[in-house]
Amino acid sequence: MSKAHASPLRSAFLALAALAAPWTLACRPEPASGEPSPPPARPAASLDTTLPDRFRPGFDPRSDALLTPRRGGKIVVHVEALPRQLNYLLDNSGVTRRILQELHGTLVARDLFTGAHRPQLAESWVVEDTLVRRDGRRLYGELVEQGAAWRVVPRSSPGHALGAAVDVAKADVARIERGTVYTFRLRTGLHWHDGAPLRVEDFLLTWRLTRIPAVRCDEKRFEFDHLVHAEKLDERSLRFFYDRQYFGAEAVFEALIPLPAHVYDLRDPAHPAARPDASDEELARHVNEHPANRRWIGIGPYRLVEFGDEYVEAERVDNGWPAEDAGWFDALRWRLITDDALAYRALCAGEIDFTSRLLSDDYFRASSDPEFTARAYVGHFYTPRASYIGWNLRRPQLADARVRTALALATDWDGYVQGFYRGLAQRVTAEWFDGGLDYDSELAPLPFDLARARALLAEAGWYDRDGDGLVDRDGKPLSVELLTQAGSRSGEVFLQRLQETFAQAGVRLEIAAVAWPVLIERVREREFDGVFKVWVVPIESDPAQRWHSREVGTGTANETSFSSPEVDRLIDAYTSELDDARRGATSRELQRRLYAEQAYDYGVKVPHKFGASLRLRNVRVGPVDPGFRLREWYFAE
């Protein structure tokens, strides 16, 4: 057969095309055996995954020298959708995030490879603790234990309320909260793309907007719920206060992108239509409908020049951004191609320089495709995202953990990894980032074991009483419906196999492949037995939304309706723990509890399969979403 593609429909038509028009077969050489070409060689396990160009054919970054970087050229990168707008507060889609990574900046940014936060628009920051006295007064500073007292030492300056260290008797202390006050000092010399200087007010505006319900930022608002106060200290310094100790506090400042107050804030004197008495509703409408949401004014080293129906384009701007991080390309273009198979062809044609969305079939055939290898090469990387099957615990037949475990044992994840992904995907056992400290790597994935699955089902009262091949109880066969998104090739392959293995365990599996909007609606309304999805996990994943009993209900992220007092306790301990080692221990205990329950059957960490132009240099890919930064790359010529 000629080639495989995104969907069986597409494959079927191309198969018919090959039969109807033999000339299409003559267009491209195929392996003589008719078998798919072998996968490209995987890098040795010991090879540092941060090495640049490690997938480029013939280049060994350990011994070969990279070309001297030079400025110039326009890179065209594939995107699967265009953002609705570029105001991240209002549109926090993955595509927006990817584009703003080049066009904008935040107080702190995450290192692509280590995951650690580093200053970006902030020059530096100081973290202090809060001491809450029994009379309710709060003091902040570095808390140092001094026998029977706590010494509160002001670390941040200027504008610290204490001025000098203060001792408070432990008897007068109601509680202490670590890491709850953040004081930032901004870089100097940075300018918005319209030429106005970056100000403290720009950050305070964003924070203020998250507290106005009429601003359409419901996806982001929750992140700032516990950031209860913000203040300007001087022209370069600002301070934020948390109302609780929270392990993911620092990551919030990654999301707090500044908005130009002179453009968005009706109350800002620098705004051309400034009105100090503008109401919150007026301000919200002004922000929600502002033309700058699409004609974005950013602070990064590239400024937007076109936002059309086909692409978004930006060009280099000199706005004071540090030269070492200002990128090498003269222009960046994000080209919309909704069909990932078409992106492969576009890469072959030189219409794009990079895609991180190669289909598995295209990825594995690319190395034997001369049209492809003449222009590009393939590689892969992983960001924290995993496929899983989530079971609705409200369904009587799925309420028993033994049944769910049996279903997990009847799922051939390893076969899926070896078959569809040819070993490229990796098994995971929890939603935590498996490169992080919180992940329990000693927890082994459940094996594919039909005999054990059948035994567990029998133990739970499900066995074949009427000889029809299906296990039953109370006169009803064990039957489940699994929701999945229609048109997903990987989903179809996996679920067809799952149907077979479930049948071997005596379970009837019905597959409901539905459009994405329908899937969302049914999961939100809890009108499902099981759902097969891919979960994109933040580096600091807060498990409360998915597993805490207070989140049980319709429309929440606890889609399985999971509830366990012990798990609640562990989650509360986990999210308030700042010590990495102690939090790691709690996390591992939590994972073991969830693993035993099997409300989610975590499957595989899915690889991002990319294709890159041979002209590109210094292509590094890492584990932090989106896995790459265009600013590091450059063209060879």
Element containing residue 166 per DSSP (H, E): strand 166-169
Please, how many CA atoms are within 13 Å of residue 62, restricted to the half-sphere of its CB? 6
335 near other proteins (CB under 8 A): yes
> Site map for other proteins, 543-562, x if CB under 8 A?
--x-----x-xxxxx-----
- Do residues 343 and 613 lie in contact, with contact meaning Cβ atoms separated by under 8 Å? no
In the complex, the smallest distance separating the C-beta of residue 310 from other proteins, rounded to whole angstroms, is 5
Q: What are the beta bridge partners of residue 316?
A: 302
Question: Among all chains, which residue has been given the structure tokens 């940014």?
Answer: 109
Work out which of 34, 58, 163, 308 binds other proteins, going by CB under 8 A: 308
Work out which of 35, 135, 277, 289 binds other proteins, going by CB under 8 A: 289
Counting other chains too, the contacts that 41-49 makes at CB distance below 8 Å and 24 or more residues apart are 42/423, 42/424, 49/113, 49/381, 49/621, 49/622, 49/623
In the complex, the smallest distance separating the C-beta of residue 587 from other proteins, rounded to whole angstroms, is 18
352 near other proteins (CB under 8 A): yes
Work out which of 64, 167, 459, 521 binds other proteins, going by CB under 8 A: 521
Work out which of 310, 459, 468, 500 binds other proteins, going by CB under 8 A: 310
d(CA 129, CA 168): 14
The number of beta carbons lying within 10 Å of the beta carbon of residue 273 is 7
DSSP 567-578: HHHHHHHHHT--
Please, how many CA atoms are within 13 Å of residue 554, restricted to the half-sphere of its CB? 9
3-class DSSP assignment, residue 336: strand
Query: Looking at beta carbons only, is 173 or 544 nearer to other proteins?
Result: 544
Please, how many CA atoms are within 13 Å of residue 394, restricted to the half-sphere of its CB? 13
Work out which of 93, 368, 426, 618 binds other proteins, going by CB under 8 A: 93
> Site residues for other proteins, window 190-219 (CB under 8 A)?
213, 216, 218-219
Work out which of 56, 199, 239, 333 binds other proteins, going by CB under 8 A: 333
Stretch that binds other proteins, among 203-211, 406-414, 510-518, 609-617 (CB under 8 A): 510-518
d(CA 43, CA 21): 39
Counting other chains too, the contacts that 469-477 makes at CB distance below 8 Å and 24 or more residues apart are 469/503, 469/506, 470/506, 470/507, 470/508, 471/505, 471/506, 471/507, 476/397, 477/508
Stretch that binds other proteins, among 133-141, 258-266, 302-310, 600-608 (CB under 8 A): 302-310
Stretch that binds other proteins, among 136-144, 246-254, 449-457, 512-520 (CB under 8 A): 512-520
d(CA 449, CA 289): 56
The residue among 73, 615, 94 whose CA lies nearest residue 316 is 73
Work out which of 162, 228, 520, 636 binds other proteins, going by CB under 8 A: 520
The number of beta carbons lying within 10 Å of the beta carbon of residue 478 is 25
Work out which of 136, 291, 475, 565 binds other proteins, going by CB under 8 A: 291
> Site residues for other proteins, window 215-254 (CB under 8 A)?
216, 218-223
Stretch that binds other proteins, among 9-17, 107-115, 575-583, 609-617 (CB under 8 A): 9-17
Query: Looking at beta carbons only, is 14 or 127 nearer to other proteins?
Result: 14
> Site residues for other proteins, window 572-611 (CB under 8 A)?
none
24 near other proteins (CB under 8 A): yes
Work out which of 372, 421, 433, 574 binds other proteins, going by CB under 8 A: 372
> Site residues for other proteins, window 525-544 (CB under 8 A)?
535-536, 542
Cα dist from 251 to 262, 505, 634, whole Å: 26, 44, 29
In the complex, the smallest distance separating the C-beta of residue 46 from other proteins, rounded to whole angstroms, is 33
What are the tokens at 13?
């038509």
d(CA 27, CA 466): 56
In the complex, the smallest distance separating the C-beta of residue 548 from other proteins, rounded to whole angstroms, is 9
4 near other proteins (CB under 8 A): no
The number of beta carbons lying within 10 Å of the beta carbon of residue 557 is 14
Query: Looking at beta carbons only, is 47 or 515 nearer to other proteins?
Result: 515
Query: Looking at beta carbons only, is 237 or 558 nearer to other proteins?
Result: 558
513 near other proteins (CB under 8 A): no
Residue 502 sits at the vertex; the CA angle it makes with 501 and 507, to the nearest 5 degrees, is 155
Stretch that binds other proteins, among 147-155, 451-459, 508-516, 560-568 (CB under 8 A): 508-516
The residue among 363, 268, 445 whose CA lies nearest residue 36 is 363
Query: Looking at beta carbons only, is 238 or 343 nearer to other proteins?
Result: 343
In the complex, the smallest distance separating the C-beta of residue 626 from other proteins, rounded to whole angstroms, is 14
In the complex, the smallest distance separating the C-beta of residue 293 from other proteins, rounded to whole angstroms, is 6
d(CA 331, CA 340): 23
Stretch that binds other proteins, among 176-184, 282-290, 433-441, 448-456 (CB under 8 A): 282-290
344 near other proteins (CB under 8 A): yes
DSSP 533-557: EEEEPPSS--THHHH-GGG-STTSS
Stretch that binds other proteins, among 49-57, 259-267, 516-524, 609-617 (CB under 8 A): 516-524
Work out which of 21, 67, 116, 636 binds other proteins, going by CB under 8 A: 21
433 near other proteins (CB under 8 A): no
